[in-house]
Chains A and B, each alone.
Chain A
């Protein structure tokens, strides 16, 4: 053995140029980090601003106050005053009469059509609702607020400029004059658009609502979460903590990673083949959509959970095993809680993806026009991204703001969904 190893190297001389470089590198690194976060946040703000600025107007709706003569003969000829009879009556004619009375002297079918076009195509239902609310109105002349058409609505929201040539304008000069008269009479009012939150889909922008899609998303994602979270976490635990390390486990691992790269529409094909054609489940149903999305989300959760489990230091496992805990107990008492933040992150990302996905649903019939609000998991339903996709593809101009508003609802949905996971994740977080 070397006895004399006395070291004569001088104490560490800090090389000032190197130190300067290192410090500069440090500053740069930190700055890059902050810049990265800020870039991402900035882009998000940009996106959100553009969505909100386009969509906030959808929460308001323009109404026209019309004096309607609700003569009993046409509404309630038998005079029963029963709700069913009042509901079954036709109010379209009354509304049209009222409009003609408002602007007497309009001749010609074209002119009449454009006059009727001032109010929404389902404006007669506003009249009906007013009558049902207060059956005493029958026989009187009442001032009732009816929805304006989407063009009029757009005009009052400033989407249709006044000072352009008539040919470039959706509201023609004649209609403009009528509207000005109405406005001068204080007959144009804006109200909060309740229908947007309580209606299902419609082909008329002013009637279209988001509720059907929200309920559909709720059902679908409930199924997705109920399936993919437990299955994903259990799979991750099995692979990470229990499975013997051999070729098979490698195969499963590669396989799961690979599933993440399978285009989502292929999951739709799978769902079509298995759930619809083989198992005979109903088309367009949230239950099928939920299962398909669960299969799609599974790899995300598994991969994130495995990474989180792997990151728990072995000494903690040893401590528990050394006390006589079984592997299962060790995992569920110690490892899993410590891995929870990562698992929840995976869940957040996976569910966010599931919430925004359209392509796989195409194959199983959820990209559809469905006006009725789904009442159960096996009723036909759409989901929010599908609604957005359909509205974005509609020719009517009024759907532009609805599309953005629907995106806002989807993001709100996302935030609420994530909030729970984010709070949980914070509670589980600790360093060791």
Chain B
């Protein structure tokens, strides 16, 4: 909670910076013949940013590294007194020290060494906190004075502030890139290890997936049991079924809400549909497995079809329902923002509403709609629970929606949470699947981007 106090102190300084900066600008504008470059608040923001941002960063950095330093200190002390201690024991010892220092429950009666270590530790923490406070506040004050001094009519305060904001924006967009890099890195090493055990092409083009068999016979991959094709085929089948349900229902709902429905109905229906996206997938899983799948099986039997009790159809359809709001709400928003003048133009040509929608509004809103569909599809590809519960886990290479299939994601999850062994191809396969899926969807997205670029209509 001491940190919180410091945080508020810095916040206070930031606000103070704003007020002083603005005040100085006001004073300048009063008796300076040169007009100020920017509006007054920007000078305030300029000072505030200097006051707040660096010292907050210092504080954050300090808080991240300080415990490590403190522990290192305790550790070095301990090593001095007892050279034989292993690093592992060290962490446990430090745990004791930290527990003792913070008044937590202890595993044993503290001995003198522990007590003194704990004392040292708390002392260090106190000093460190004090130092952090001094440094942060000093920096803040320093920044306050220098930036106040810098304020003069020619200072491009707005540009400076905007520069900071745009740097923050750039950092934000970097996070997406970093995430990707992180994902690739957290998959690639295991994947490479996997390809040590299983030939790349067997994995890529094999048509048989049965990770267990390979493992038990201890001659991994020899039987070609790591063929990813059935998984990708299953993913495609289920995603396809899912989109067959979700695209028409979602798009038509969006059209109805944005173009036909009254305000009240729309205000009601849109959030209601959005609830569909928030129902936990377990619920959908039960629904698919216990309501939809038996229904299909029985109807199939009546029609003389053989429908397995776990079917791609049931899972895909229920998944389609789940992602309806992704399409309906997002498409509704973009269609809603197509300018009214375009609708007017079409109506005035004697077009019916539906013609206006299909020929004018949807083309104009196409990039947004495609984005929504891609997003929905992405969710479908990534979904597990429904498939596990309703489509099963058997990797069948089939295009028949009435049979059980499984998907890449499901296999990744079951491989990762199931009984695993160190370095077995079975566990590593999950990483390879993850990476391969990543590549496949990447290709899909590149193609989608190209297509959207081609058909984009820019209005106004």
Pair A47/B374 contact, Cβ less than 8 Å? no
Pair B441/A312 contact, Cβ less than 8 Å? no
Pair A25/B445 contact, Cβ less than 8 Å? no
Q: Which of A231, A238, A242, A352 contacts B278 (CB 8 A)?
A: A352
Pair B172/A432 contact, Cβ less than 8 Å? no
**Which of A63-71, A103-111, A154-162, A268-276 forms contacts with chain B?**
A268-276
Q: Which residues of B contact A256 (CB under 8 A)?
A: 176
Q: Which residues of B contact A407 (CB under 8 A)?
A: 279-280, 283
The interface bits of chain B over 210-245 (1 if a CB of A lies within 8 angstroms of the residue's CB, else 0) are 000000000000000000000000000000000000
User: Chain B: which residue is nearest A253 at the CB level?
Assistant: B449
Pair B333/A269 contact, Cβ less than 8 Å? no
The interface bits of chain B over 368-385 (1 if a CB of A lies within 8 angstroms of the residue's CB, else 0) are 100110110111011011
Pair B166/A254 contact, Cβ less than 8 Å? no
**Residues in A22-41 with C-beta less than 8 Å from chain B:** 22-23, 25-26, 29-30, 32-37, 39-41
**Residues in B135-191 with C-beta less than 8 Å from chain A:** 158, 162, 165-166, 168-170, 172-173, 175-177, 179-180, 182-183, 185-187
Pair A235/B274 contact, Cβ less than 8 Å? no
Pair A25/B354 contact, Cβ less than 8 Å? yes
In the assembled complex, the CB of A177 is this many whole angstroms from the nearest CB of chain B, namely 35
Pair B278/A40 contact, Cβ less than 8 Å? no
- Contact A345:B333 (CB < 8 A) given known A33-B256, A43-B276: yes
The interface bits of chain A over 292-322 (1 if a CB of B lies within 8 angstroms of the residue's CB, else 0) are 0001001110111011101111110000000
**Residues in B55-78 with C-beta less than 8 Å from chain A:** 68
Q: Which of B338, B408, B448 contacts A257 (CB 8 A)?
A: B448
Pair B283/A41 contact, Cβ less than 8 Å? no
Pair A269/B177 contact, Cβ less than 8 Å? no
Q: Which of B166, B251, B381 contacts A263 (CB 8 A)?
A: B381
Question: Which one of A230, A242, A338 has the highest number of Cβ atoms from chain B below 10 Å of its Cβ?
Answer: A242
In the assembled complex, the CB of A336 is this many whole angstroms from the nearest CB of chain B, namely 12
- Contact A33:B260 (CB < 8 A) given known A252-B173, A326-B158: yes
Would you call B110 an interface residue if the criterion is a C-beta within 8 Å of the partner chain's C-beta atoms? no
Q: Which residues of B contact A23 (CB under 8 A)?
A: 352
Q: Which residues of B contact A266 (CB under 8 A)?
A: 183, 186-187, 412, 434, 438
Pair A30/B354 contact, Cβ less than 8 Å? yes
Would you call A98 an interface residue if the criterion is a C-beta within 8 Å of the partner chain's C-beta atoms? no
Would you call B101 an interface residue if the criterion is a C-beta within 8 Å of the partner chain's C-beta atoms? no
In the assembled complex, the CB of B244 is this many whole angstroms from the nearest CB of chain A, namely 13
**Residues in A340-399 with C-beta less than 8 Å from chain B:** 341-342, 345-346, 348-349, 352-353, 355-356, 358-359, 362-363, 384-385, 388-389, 392
Q: Which residues of A contact B324 (CB under 8 A)?
A: 40
Pair B249/A40 contact, Cβ less than 8 Å? yes
Pair A302/B176 contact, Cβ less than 8 Å? yes
The interface bits of chain A over 323-344 (1 if a CB of B lies within 8 angstroms of the residue's CB, else 0) are 0001010000000001101100
Question: Which one of A258, A388, A392 has the highest number of Cβ atoms from chain B below 10 Å of its Cβ?
Answer: A258
Q: Which of B267, B270, B275, B283 contacts A414 (CB 8 A)?
A: B275
In the assembled complex, the CB of B166 is this many whole angstroms from the nearest CB of chain A, namely 6
User: Chain B: which residue is nearest A311 at the CB level?
Assistant: B337
Q: Which residues of A contact B283 (CB under 8 A)?
A: 47, 51, 388, 407
How far apart are the CA atoms of A107 and B87 in the complex, in Å?
59
Pair A258/B434 contact, Cβ less than 8 Å? no
Pair B367/A310 contact, Cβ less than 8 Å? yes
Pair A33/B252 contact, Cβ less than 8 Å? yes
- Contact A250:B449 (CB < 8 A) given known A36-B248, A262-B183, A328-B162: yes
Would you call A182 an interface residue if the criterion is a C-beta within 8 Å of the partner chain's C-beta atoms? no
Interface of A is mostly: helix
Would you call B199 an interface residue if the criterion is a C-beta within 8 Å of the partner chain's C-beta atoms? no
Would you call B396 an interface residue if the criterion is a C-beta within 8 Å of the partner chain's C-beta atoms? no
Pair A30/B333 contact, Cβ less than 8 Å? no
Would you call A264 an interface residue if the criterion is a C-beta within 8 Å of the partner chain's C-beta atoms? yes
Q: Which of A34, A252, A385 contacts B280 (CB 8 A)?
A: A385
How far apart are the CA atoms of A256 and B178 in the complex, in Å?
11
Pair B169/A235 contact, Cβ less than 8 Å? yes
- Contact A263:B339 (CB < 8 A) given known A34-B256, A388-B280, A410-B280: no
Pair A313/B339 contact, Cβ less than 8 Å? yes
Q: Which residues of B contact A384 (CB under 8 A)?
A: 280
Q: Which of A37, A237, A257, A389 contacts B269 (CB 8 A)?
A: A37
Considering only CB atoms and an 8 Å cut-off, how many residues of chain B contact the other chain? 106
- Contact A255:B180 (CB < 8 A) given known A29-B357, A41-B269, A328-B166: yes
User: Chain B: which residue is nearest A340 at the CB level?
Assistant: B333
Pair B175/A328 contact, Cβ less than 8 Å? no
User: Chain A: which residue is nearest B265 at the CB level?
Assistant: A37
Q: Which residues of A contact B367 (CB under 8 A)?
A: 307, 310
Pair A315/B282 contact, Cβ less than 8 Å? no
Q: Which residues of B contact A415 (CB under 8 A)?
A: 275
How far apart are the CA atoms of A392 and B389 in the complex, in Å?
12
Pair A40/B374 contact, Cβ less than 8 Å? no
Pair B176/A299 contact, Cβ less than 8 Å? yes
User: Chain A: which residue is nearest B338 at the CB level?
Assistant: A311
Q: Which residues of B contact A362 (CB under 8 A)?
A: 416-417
Q: Which of B183, B291, B330, B354 contacts A304 (CB 8 A)?
A: B330
Q: Which residues of A contact B176 (CB under 8 A)?
A: 235, 252, 255-256, 259, 298-299, 302
Pair A242/B252 contact, Cβ less than 8 Å? no
23 CB contacts below 8 A, A to B, read: A34-B260, A36-B250, A37-B256, A232-B172, A257-B375, A258-B445, A260-B374, A263-B382, A265-B409, A269-B416, A273-B185, A295-B175, A303-B371, A303-B374, A304-B371, A307-B334, A307-B371, A311-B368, A342-B330, A346-B330, A385-B282, A389-B280, A426-B267
Q: B-side interface residues toward A, CB under 8 Å?
A: 68, 158, 162, 165-166, 168-170, 172-173, 175-177, 179-180, 182-183, 185-187, 248-253, 255-257, 259-261, 267, 269-284, 286-287, 291, 321, 324-326, 328-330, 332-334, 336-340, 352-355, 357, 365, 367-368, 371-372, 374-375, 377-379, 381-382, 384-385, 408-409, 412-413, 416-417, 431, 434, 437-438, 441-442, 444-446, 448-449, 458-460
Given A254-B442, A345-B330, A358-B281, 8 other A-B contacts at CB below 8 A?
Answer: A41-B269, A47-B283, A242-B169, A262-B434, A264-B384, A265-B413, A304-B330, A307-B330
